[in-house]
Amino acid sequence: MALVPVAEALDRLLEGAAPLAGEGVPLFEAVDRVLAEPVVALRTQPPFNASAMDGYAARAADVASAPLRLSVIGMAPAGRGFSGAVGKAQAVRIFTGAPLPEGADTIVIQENVRDLGNGDIEVIEPTAKGRNIRRIGLDFSTGDVLLEKGRVLDPAALSLAASANHPRVNVVKRPLVAIIATGDELLPPGSDLGPDQIISSNAYGVAATAQSVGARALDLGIAADRKEAIAELVQKAVAAGADVIVTLGGASVGDHDLIHDVLTGEGMTLGFWKIAMRPGKPLMFGRLGDIRCVGLPGNPVASLVCSQLFLKPLLAQLGGRDHRQDIRSARLGAAMPANDLRQDYVRAVVREDNGALVATPFGIQDSSMLRMLADANGLIVRAPFAPAAAAGEICSVLMLRQESQTSSS
C-alpha cells in the first residue's frame, strides 16, 4: 500500500465533515460555544431616549447661556421615569439610563450645576440641544442581526445576546471524542509498574488537543491486545454517541496491531492507512457509519503530532470552528540533512532574534521522547525530498504555541 501524502490525507479526513446539529443552551453555559444560527435582536436598545449622564434634564432653549437659575420639579432615577413634563425654566434631576422626560431635550451634567437650595439650581455652563442623550435604538433595533452564525461566543457576545433578550442561544453541538488506548504493556498514571510495563500517557495529550477546539473527550481506558477487548470499547464508544473514535497504538503492521481488523470487523470503511510523514506514518482513518475513526500511532510524539495535524482540524470543522495551522517562516538555527520521501515534522525551539524568528531543531528526534516535545514550541516542516539546508536558510515552522522565545544573546 502506497503512503498517502499529508495534504491528501487531510483532504480525505475532512471531506464531508460538516458542523454538527445545533442545540439550545443557557447563556451561562454558552461561553466559547459556536453559534449554529444568527442572534437577532428581540428588542430595541435603548428602548427610549435615555440620559447618558447623571445631571439635570432641561430645555436647551433655557440653558443655551449661563449662568441661569432653574427650578427642579422632580426626579428620574434609572428604572422609574418622571411622569410630568419639563417647562420653561424647569429641570428634572436625572440619573444615567433614565428616560428623558417630556419637554426636555438636553442633559446638563451635574458638574455644571450648583445647588442653591429650596429646589433651585444654578447652571454655570451652557449646554447645547441633544447633549448627553442616548437616542432610542442607538445600540440596536428589533430585528437587527447582532451575531452571525459561526461566531465563537466570548464575554462581549454573550452580554450582547442577553441585552437583546435572549436567555438561551442555539449553538453547534460539541463533538464527542471517544479515546481508546491499546496495549498489554500500558497502565494508568499512579500505577506500580512491572518490569515490562509503561504508563499510558497519550490519551491525556489527545484529550487536551480535542478540548482545545471545543470538543468533549470520553476516556474509555485501556484495552488489552485482544480483539474482543478492543471491540468491546469500540462498541461502548458507539453506544455513547461518539462523533469520533480515536484509538492509540495498534495501527502498525504486526501480530499485536489489531485496530484495523477490529474496526473493519465492526463495519468501518477504510479511508487511508499509512501516510508519508515522520513521525506518524501508521496513521489510519475510516468511517463507521457517521462516526469518524482515527487510529493514532502508539509512539507518544507521533500520536500528539498527528493529533495537531489531523484530529484538531477535524474536530474544529465538526464543531463549526475556523481552524488554520499557524505556519511561519524562520531561519534555521542549525543545518539539516536532505529528506527522504516522507514529510518531516522536526521538533524545534523557535526564538526571536533581532526581529526575526530562528528555529533550532533538537539533535535527537526519537518519537518516544515526550520531554523534548514539551520543550518544543514549533515543528520545522520539511517537504519530501527536500535538499540539505544550511543554518540561516529559510524554513517553514508549524507553531505549537503562540509565543516564541526571545534570544538571550
This model's pTM is above 0.85: yes
> What H or E segment, with its residue span, contains residue 10?
helix 6-14
Torsion of Cα atoms, 291 then 292 then 298 then 299, to 10°: -150
- Average pLDDT over the chain reads 95
What pLDDT digit, counting tens, does each position of 325-382 carry?
Answer: 999 999 999 999 999 999 999 999 999 999 999 999 999 999 889 999 999 999 999 9
As a three-state string, the secondary structure of the chain is CCCECHHHHHHHHHCCCCCCCEEEEEHHHCCCCEECCCEECCCCECCCCEECCCEEEECCCCCCCCCEEEEEEEEECCCCCCCCECCCCEEEEECCCCECCECCCEEEEHHHEEEEECCEEEECCCCCCCCCEECCCCCECCCCEEECCCCECCHHHHHHHHHCCCCEEEEECCCEEEEEEECCCEECCCCCCCCCCEECCHHHHHHHHHHHCCCEEEEEEEECCCHHHHHHHHHHHHHCCCCEEEEECCCCCCCCCCHHHHHHHCCCEEEEECECEECCCCCEEEEECCEEEEEECCCHHHHHHHHHHHHHHHHHHHCCCCCCCCEEEEEECCCECCCCCCEEEEEEEEEEECCEEEEEECCCCCCCCHHHHHHCCEEEEECCCCCCECCCCEEEEEECCCCCEECCC
133 pLDDT above the threshold of 80: yes
pLDDT at 401: 85
pLDDT bin (cut points 50, 70, 90) of residue 144 is very high
pLDDT at 1: 67
The mean pLDDT of 22-28, rounded to a whole number, is: 98
What pLDDT digit, counting tens, does each position of 70-94 carry?
Answer: 999 999 999 999 999 999 999 999 9
405 pLDDT above the threshold of 60: no
What pLDDT digit, counting tens, does each position of 314-339 carry?
Answer: 999 999 999 899 999 999 999 999 99
Please check whether the two domains, 6-20+174-318 and 50-134, share a CATH topology. Answer: no
pLDDT at 404: 52
Q: Which of 165-174, 255-264, 281-290 has the lowest mean pLDDT?
A: 255-264
pLDDT at 403: 60
CATH placement of domain 327-406:
2.40.340.10
The mean pLDDT of 89-112, rounded to a whole number, is: 98
DSSP sequence for 206-221: HHHHHHHTT-EEEEEE
Domain ranges of the chain: 6-20+174-318, 22-45+139-172, 50-134, 327-406
What would the grid cell of residue 325 be? 495551522
CATH class of 22-45+139-172: alpha beta
d(C-alpha 182, C-alpha 262), whole Å: 12
pLDDT at 358: 98
CATH architecture of 6-20+174-318: 3-Layer(aba) Sandwich (3.40)
What pLDDT digit, counting tens, does each position of 175-203 carry?
Answer: 999 999 999 999 999 999 999 999 999 99
pLDDT bin (cut points 50, 70, 90) of residue 408 is very low
The mean pLDDT of 152-171, rounded to a whole number, is: 99
Percent of the chain with pLDDT over 90: 94
CATH placement of domain 50-134:
2.170.190.11
